[in-house]
Amino acid sequence: MRAAVLRAVGEVEVLDIEDPTCDDESVVVAVAHCGVCGTDRSIYRGDYVVDMPMVLGHEFSGTVVQVGARVTRFALGDRVVVDPNIVDDSCFFCRRGESHLCHGLRALGVGRPGGFAERCAVPERYVYAVPEGVSLADAALTEPLACCVRGIDQAQVAAGDVVVIVGAGPIGCLLLQLARLAGAAIVVAVDPSADRREAARAAGADEVCDPSLAQSTLQRVRGGVGADVVIEASGSLAAAASSFSLVRRGGTVVLFAVYPQGETIAVSPYQINEDELRVVGSLNNPATHSRALELLSSGRVSVDGMVTHHVALEDVERAMDLTNFVGPGKIMIDVSGSPRRAATAERMADA
């Protein structure tokens, strides 16, 4: 099969590799669509370290083409999505019901071969059926939506809250829809890109602004009190630091995005204590895939227009740099329709 393989930092190549094997409790999924995530780009840049060579990609949908002998919930031809976070079930955190913090977690596309490939083997327990009426293209956004559901859970948005979303990319647009569903009275989207601000407005933001105007916008809508909840979803260290200037006393800051490992920001312990701030992270998507699929199926969350570019498997490396695209939102790799221009398996062995 063909797969886009990360051979070294900054080097992805489409190769012919062996088809994945299917054990008794797994299925093989023929990948239809796989979204490009900020995590993929962090790995490509070397900000997030993985073993190489590695088939990246973890936001994917597809069709079951092989089932293991003990698989009971799926049959050939079923349309599915996957939770990519494969845990060991035996570590301290798994035993406490916090499996998303698993010490032995090996995510698809990070610690084991992922969805930038024609086929991917996945344990049955991590596979979810796509509801009728949801296309495979839209279903490929289930994983990022599931992560956003977790983020809103962590934020504890309450009815009537003023919520600021920093970063109005696809993730920001999902978060702001979920914040509204959770009862937020006003949602402000902050982003330096005019295109992304307009995307946020289309997704339901009440206010949009450039980061330089965030303070004055809050002054106008909240009288200078600050937001009840600030969710930082851009991945910018500067934006993460500035989030603490936007939250009210007693409010919550959620650091949602993926940030470079080893980097730090200056935070005032005095402010956190004196203002009794709640500062939380949001990792992965523990037990939120079913809820994400319900939201997509019901239409309560819309992903219309969120994917701005569909590209072939051979374009994975180009998709690692957003400057290659005009007005980028989510970039989707259409694996099942990609032309065949792969290299040989021997070149992967040399990586």
Of the pLDDT bands very low, low, confident and very high (cuts 50, 70, 90), residue 338 is: low
Write out the two tokens for 343: 């290299």
The answer to whether residue 344 scores a pLDDT higher than 60 is no
The whole-angstrom separation of Cα 351 and Cα 349 is 6
pTM: 0.93
Give tens-digit pLDDT for 171-195.
999 999 999 999 999 999 999 999 9
- Of residues 292, 288, 243, the one with CA closest to residue 267: 243
CA distances from 328 to 197, 212, 308, 331 (A): 12, 22, 6, 7
Phi, psi of 315 (to 5 degrees): -100, 10
**Domains assigned to the chain:** 2-141+306-349 (3.90.180.10), 148-281 (3.40.50.720)
The whole-angstrom separation of Cα 239 and Cα 241 is 5
Of the pLDDT bands very low, low, confident and very high (cuts 50, 70, 90), residue 345 is: very low
Q: Hey, CA dihedral for 267, 269, 275, 279, is it positive or negative?
A: positive
Give tens-digit pLDDT for 159-169.
999 999 999 99
